[in-house]
Structure 1
Amino acid sequence: MTVALGLLVATVVIGVAGPLYLRTAVTPSVRPGLALAGWVSSIALMVLVALVAAVVLLAPRAYVVDGLIGMSHSCVNVVRADGGAAWEHVARAAGAAAVFCALGWVAAVAGRLSWRRRRWRREHLALLRAVSRCERSVLWVDEDTPLAYSVGGRDGAVVATRGVARLGPRERDAILAHERAHMRGRHHLLVLLADVVAEALPFVPLCRRAPGAIRVLVELAADAAAARLHGPGSVRAGLLAVVGRGAPSTALAMSRDAVEVRLRWLGGERAAAGRPHSRAGYALAAALALAPALVSIGVVALGVLAYCLSVRPA
Structure 2
Amino acid sequence: MTLALGLLAAAVVIGVAAPAYLRIAVTPRLRPGLALAGWTSSVLAVVLAVSVSGLLLALPGGSGLDGLIGMADSCANVFLARGDVVWADVTRLGGAAVLLTFTGRTIAVAIGKVRRHRRCRREHVTLLRSLGRTEGPVLWLDEVTPIAYSVGGRNGTIVATRGVERLDVCEREAVLAHEQAHLRGRHHALVLAADIVAAALPFVPLCRQAPGAVRVLVELAADAAAARRHGPGPVRSALLSVSAGQAPRTALAMSRDAVDARLLWLESGHLPAPKLPVRADYAVAAVLTTVPAILSVATVALLVTLYCLAVVG
Does TM, scored on the shorter chain, surpass 0.5?
A: yes
One-letter code of the match for 1:198? A
Corresponding residue of 2:27: 27
Q: Is the 8 A contact 1:10 1:293 kept in 2?
A: yes
Corresponding residue of 1:260: 260
Query: Please, which runs of 5 or more residues in structure 2 have no aligned partner?
Result: none
After TM superposition, what 4+ stretches of structure 1 lie above 3 angstroms from structure 2? 62-66, 77-81, 272-278
Instruction: Supply the distance in 2 between the matched residues of 1:276 and 1:268 (Cα, whole angstroms).
Output: 22
Inter-CA distance 270–62: structure 2 relative to 1 (3 Å threshold) = farther
Inter-CA distance 272–31: structure 2 relative to 1 (3 Å threshold) = closer
Query: Please, which runs of 5 or more residues in structure 1 have no aligned partner?
Result: none
Instruction: Supply the distance in 1 between the matched residues of 2:278 and 2:129 (Cα, whole angstroms).
Output: 36
Shift of 1:164: 0.3
> 1:131 aligns to what SS in structure 2?
coil
Normalising by structure 2, report the TM-score: 0.94
Q: Is the 8 A contact 2:76 2:88 kept in 1?
A: no
Corresponding residue of 2:297: 297
- Equivalent residue runs for 1:60-99 within 5 Å: 60-78=60-78, 81-82=81-82, 85-99=85-99
Q: Deviations over 1:17-54 (max 9, x none)?
A: 12111111111122111110000001111111111111
Superposition RMSD in Å = 1.7
Corresponding residue of 1:8: 8
Q: Is the 8 A contact 2:37 2:285 kept in 1?
A: yes
One-letter code of the match for 2:8? L
Instruction: Supply the distance in 1 between the matched residues of 2:68 and 2:160 (Cα, whole angstroms).
Output: 60
Inter-CA distance 92–312: structure 2 relative to 1 (3 Å threshold) = closer
Corresponding residue of 1:227: 227
Shift of 1:184: 0.8
Q: Percent identity?
A: 60
Q: Deviations over 1:236-286 (max 9, x none)?
A: 111111112422222100111000111111115342454334523320111
> 1:271 aligns to what SS in structure 2?
coil
The answer on 1:246 being equivalent to 2:263 is no
- Equivalent residue runs for 1:1-314 within 5 Å: 1-78=1-78, 81-82=81-82, 85-277=85-277, 279-313=279-313
Q: Deviations over 1:211-235 (max 9, x none)?
A: 0000000000111111111111111
Q: Deviations over 1:99-131 (max 9, x none)?
A: 111111111111111111111111111111001
One-letter code of the match for 1:242? V
Normalising by structure 1, report the TM-score: 0.94
Q: Is the 8 A contact 1:3 1:65 kept in 2?
A: no
What count of residue pairs does the alignment treat as equivalent? 313
Q: Is the 8 A contact 2:141 2:162 kept in 1?
A: yes
Shift of 1:308: 2.1
Shift of 1:83: 6.2
User: After alignment, is 207-216 or 224-233 more displaced?
Assistant: 224-233
Shift of 1:91: 1.7
Q: Is the 8 A contact 2:137 2:156 kept in 1?
A: no
Inter-CA distance 115–278: structure 2 relative to 1 (3 Å threshold) = closer
Instruction: Supply the distance in 2 between the matched residues of 1:139 and 1:275 (Cα, whole angstroms).
Output: 28
Inter-CA distance 98–198: structure 2 relative to 1 (3 Å threshold) = same
Q: Is the 8 A contact 1:224 1:274 kept in 2?
A: no
Q: Is the 8 A contact 1:28 1:268 kept in 2?
A: no
Inter-CA distance 38–276: structure 2 relative to 1 (3 Å threshold) = same
Q: Is the 8 A contact 1:15 1:207 kept in 2?
A: yes
Q: Is the 8 A contact 2:28 2:272 kept in 1?
A: no
Shift of 1:69: 3.2
Inter-CA distance 272–312: structure 2 relative to 1 (3 Å threshold) = closer
Q: Is the 8 A contact 1:139 1:158 kept in 2?
A: yes
